[in-house]
Structure formats: C-alpha cells, structure tokens
Amino acid sequence: MSKWECIVCGLIYDEKEGWPDDGIAPGTKWEDVPEDWLCPDCGVGKEDFELLEEEVVEDVPHHEEPVADKVHAPVVIIGTGLAGYGVAKEFRKHDSDTPLILITSDDGRSYSKPMLSTGYTKNTTANDLAQLDAGSMAKMLKASVWTMTRVAEIDTANQMIKVGDAQSAIHYGKLVLAVGAEVIQPPIGGDALEKVYSVNDLLDYDDFRSAVEKNGVKKVCIIGGGLIGCEFTNDLLNGGFEVEAVDPLGHCLPTLLPEQAGKAVQAALESKGATFHFGPLVTEVNHAGEGVRVTLNNGETIDADLVVSAVGVRPRVALAQASGIDTNRGVVTNRLLETSAPNVYAMGDCAEVGGHVLVYVAPLMAAARALGKTLAGEPTEVSYPAMPVTIKTPACPVVVAPPAPGAQGEWTVQAQGNDVQAEFRDAAGNLLGFALTGEATKAKLALQKELPAILA
C-alpha cells in the first residue's frame, strides 16, 4: 500500500485508508481512484499528487571533513519557498554528496503558500501551516539553511554571492535563484497605511492574523478582485467577516476569466454577503474612529476595520538585474532554466522560462524536477504540459487554463446559473484555453486532454 502526496497542500492519500468521505473505500489503489477526484483540501486534481517517497537521509558523521573541503563547490539556492525547497528535494534524489546551501530572507519554515488564502475556512494559523522548521529541513536535505539572510549581490564572474551586510561572501559551483514574486503596491495615500496588509508569505500571514485578532476585526476591505482577492473574500466570508472588495475592472478574476464566468463568481460571493465595487480605484486609506475609511476615485467611501491589498504579484528581478543577469518580465531562462550568467539558474515565481511567466505551483514543480537532474549532472529541459489552475472559491469553484497571451481565437460560453463553461478556440476549432465555474468544473479533465502543451 503506498501513499500519495498533494504537491500543492501536502494532503496525503493513503491507499490503506482510502477516502471514505468521497466514497473511496479503504484499500483503494491510487490507479483506481476516480480520475476526476479532487484534493479535498485544496481542490487540485489527481495529476497534482506525487508518490510519497520516504526521504532516508543519514546524519553527517562527526568525523567527516567539513563540506567546504569536499571536491565539489556547493550548489547554492536562494529562496526556501516551494521552488527553493522543491528543487533541493529533487536534487537530493540524484546527488546526496555535493554540499548544498539554501539562503532565505525569511525564517525558512516550509509551508504551502496556496494555503494562506484558506486559513479561516480551515481554521489554520501560521503555526498550523508551517510543516517543518529550517533546522528540520536542513537535516532532511543534508544541507545548510541560512535564515533571515538577504543576498545582496551576485558576482557572476567569480561565482561569489554576498550576503546580509555584504561583509560575508560565499563561493558557488552552481546557483539557483528561487526568490519568488513580490506584491504590487498600488499608489495609495492616507494616514492609515499601516492597516493595509498584503499576504505573500507565512510571516505576512502571521502579522495579518494577529492584527485581526488584536483589533477585534469584523469588516475587511479587499483591494483587488483577482485570484488572491477573490480567494481572500471567500475565506473571510467563511470566517464570519463582512467583506467589501474593490477592483478597477468589471468583474471577478478579470484577467483570468471571460465576463460571464467572472460574473458567476461575483454572484456566488455576493450571495454569501460580499459587496463589490467594480470600476473605481482606491486612492486613500485614512483612520476613522477605531477603523479606517477607504476612499475611491468615484467619490465613494468604505468603512472597515482593516484592509487587505491583493492587486497581484510580479517576479522579483532586482537582485538579478543588479548582478547583470538578463531580465524581462522575470529572470530570463532557457528550458534548461539557465540564465544569461554561467552556472546561474532561475525557477519558480521569479523566472521567465522560454518566454512564460507562470506564478503557480504546477510549473515550479515541473521546473524543480528538471533542474534537480541538471544540477546533478544530467542536463534536462523542462516541459510544461497544459496546467489548469484551480481557484479556491468554494462558493463557486473555478478551474481556468488561460489561453497564451496573444493567442488568436474566440470565447464561446455556455451558462446555466453560476455553472459556466467557456472555451477559447482558434479559427480551426482547436481548444487553446478554458474557464469553468460551478458544476461545469467537472469538464476539466476532458478539456485538459484537448489542450496543447505550454512547452512541449
């Protein structure tokens, strides 16, 4: 009997136990689990589960030479998010000896970032979401994990990185940039900006939850109606909060969904009590009594206890740029994940791989598998199959596979209430993307099979 692990949220399917809640009897083998079964915790499909391998890692014996004296120069990974730890785990499957150093500006706890927007639905604090601390990760990976350490500069000619105050430097044999994406800060004025929270990592989440508890928050204003804004709207409604959300575009998930599908999500969230303001921009957040007053550029105001800003993320490119590494929307790489600097690779949310910036988990897992082999001496190009994204709005489940930017074609939409099936096809009838809401999400597997690979 084996166990399978969800790569997004870490949920484990144990063949011995099955999943009786969904009618899957104890003893059901993974291949007999229905193809359309979705992870009960985060909603991703069977293809996002991996066979769980027991990591058998021996402790470094005390009499061994220090790692720095071994033949190989270390592999250094900057970042300990799903990308950094993901590639480290893959690398260790192929190479258990080369010294490995991970450096992170946060506390190095491993966690699944997508779970940050389901904390109230699942009643999970930041501590609940943390899977392992940095020390345990170091032991598991037979690596050194440097926490609360910012990499300030990369000297690509001498293969050195400078850390912290730039007084310490370390040499790398191969370097991986897995520095993630940063939140976009909208230009907002006012005297209460300390009450505007962005949630992009576990430490942010801890701050946000503490502020909610400390201030007895009852009502939240959310800036942004995209993926993170809608997920937070649904999650906070589930947590019993009042929510008003603002987005300058015309409907929910405006950059991902055609209008009818976005309106279905809006209707479902409104029926749970959300209020949306589509069209205006937020201009100011000011103190008002114990809470805040949010001013919009159409003259309206929203009174709330606290504000969440969720206007999107963009790849972190500053470190690469300052080090002379080519960047465009992200850190530019080829399909081997090589950047323009020798022995420097990039992956995860910070990377632009073969022209694609995909700030989701499935692409970074594909990149981690390929790069793990490349770093171990077996050059392997990354392939991206079609990778639909599940959006965690249980009021109206959404699965979307957006057409590539610039793709030529048209949307056709079939809708029944909040169940919308939208397909984007070219003139020859080939499916290039789709968006599904409500009950129509059941068509995901069939449509996914029709989609072309993103990077074949």
Ligand X SMILES: Cc1cc2nc3c(=O)[nH]c(=O)nc-3n(C[C@H](O)[C@H](O)[C@H](O)COP(=O)(O)OP(=O)(O)OC[C@H]3O[C@@H](n4cnc5c(N)ncnc54)[C@H](O)[C@@H]3O)c2cc1C
Nearer to ligand X, 190 or 364 (CB): 364
CA distance 367 to 184: 25
Three-point CA angle 317, 133, 338, nearest 5°:
30
Question: How far apart are CB 292 and ligand X at their closest, in Å?
Answer: 22
Task: Work out which of 228, 246, 269, 282 binds ligand X, going by CB under 6 A.
Answer: 228
Block residue for tokens 């993926």: 227
What value does the CA radius of gyration of the chain take, rounded to a whole number of Å?
23
User: What tokens appear for 297 in the block?
Assistant: 């550029």
Q: How many CA atoms lie within 13 A of 316 on its CB side?
A: 16
Three-point CA angle 38, 42, 44, nearest 5°:
45
Nearer to ligand X, 18 or 365 (CB): 365
Question: How far apart are CB 258 and ligand X at their closest, in Å?
Answer: 20
Nearer to ligand X, 79 or 397 (CB): 79
Task: Work out which of 7, 28, 33, 80 binds ligand X, going by CB under 6 A.
Answer: 80
Site string for ligand X, 85-114 (x = CB under 6 A): ------------------xxxx------xx
168 φ/ψ angles, rounded to the nearest 5 degrees: -100, 140
Interaction between residue 361 and ligand X (CB under 6 A): yes
Residue 46, strand partner residues: none
Task: Work out which of 126, 175, 178, 222 binds ligand X, going by CB under 6 A.
Answer: 178
Q: For the segment 368-397, give every residue that binds ligand X (CB under 6 A).
A: 389, 392
Nearer to ligand X, 45 or 180 (CB): 180
Question: How far apart are CB 310 and ligand X at their closest, in Å?
Answer: 8
Sheet strands side by side (includes 151-155): 151-155, 160-163, 168-171
Residue 5, strand partner residues: 12, 50
Q: For the segment 291-330, give every residue that binds ligand X (CB under 6 A).
A: 316, 319
Question: How far apart are CB 295 and ligand X at their closest, in Å?
Answer: 26
CA distance 397 to 408: 27
Site string for ligand X, 145-174 (x = CB under 6 A): -----xx-----------------------
Task: Work out which of 45, 79, 224, 258 binds ligand X, going by CB under 6 A.
Answer: 79
The region of 76-84, 243-251, 288-296, 324-332 touching ligand X under the rule CB under 6 A is 76-84
Which secondary structure element, helix H or strand E, spans residue 5, and what is its range?
A: strand 3-6
Residue 196 one-letter amino acid: V
SS3 category, 50: strand
The region of 198-206, 211-219, 257-265, 437-445 touching ligand X under the rule CB under 6 A is 198-206
Whether the CB-CB separation of 125 and 209 falls below 8 Å is answered with: yes
Nearer to ligand X, 258 or 348 (CB): 348
Nearer to ligand X, 182 or 338 (CB): 182
Residue 46 one-letter amino acid: K
> For residues 125, 222, 244 and 219, what is the CA-based torsion angle, rounded to 10 degrees?
40
Question: How far apart are CB 181 and ligand X at their closest, in Å?
Answer: 6
Task: Work out which of 311, 359, 368, 371 binds ligand X, going by CB under 6 A.
Answer: 359
Q: Please, is 239 exposed, middle or buried when counting C-beta atoms within 10 Å of its C-beta (0-12, 13-18, 19+)?
A: middle
Question: How far apart are CB 414 and ligand X at their closest, in Å?
Answer: 25
Task: Work out which of 18, 45, 119, 180 binds ligand X, going by CB under 6 A.
Answer: 180
Closest CA to 454 of 405, 364, 383: 383
Q: For the segment 410-439, give every residue that binds ligand X (CB under 6 A).
A: none
CA distance 17 to 420: 35
Q: Which residues bind ligand X (CB under 6 A)?
A: 8, 78-84, 103-106, 113-114, 116-117, 150-151, 178-180, 199-201, 228, 231, 316, 319, 348-349, 359-362, 364, 389, 392
